Amino acid sequence: MSFNHFDENGQAIMVDVSGKQPTLRTARARGVVRMKPETLQAILDGCMSKGDVLGVSRLAGISAAKKTPELIPLSHPLAIHHAAVDFFPVPATGEVSVIATVRAFERTGVEMEAMVAASVAALTIYDMCKGSDKGISIGEVCLLYKEGGKSGTYRREGYDTDSEEGSGL
Where in the sequence numbering do the catalytic residues fall?
Answer: 127
Distances (CA, A) of 96 to 21, 93, 120, 132, 154: 37, 9, 14, 16, 24
Round to whole Å and give the CA distance between 140 and 97. Answer: 10
Q: Taking CA 151 as the corner, what is the angle to CA 65 and CA 27, rounded to the nearest 5 degrees?
A: 25
Sign of the CA dihedral with 123 first, then 89, 169, and 69 last: negative
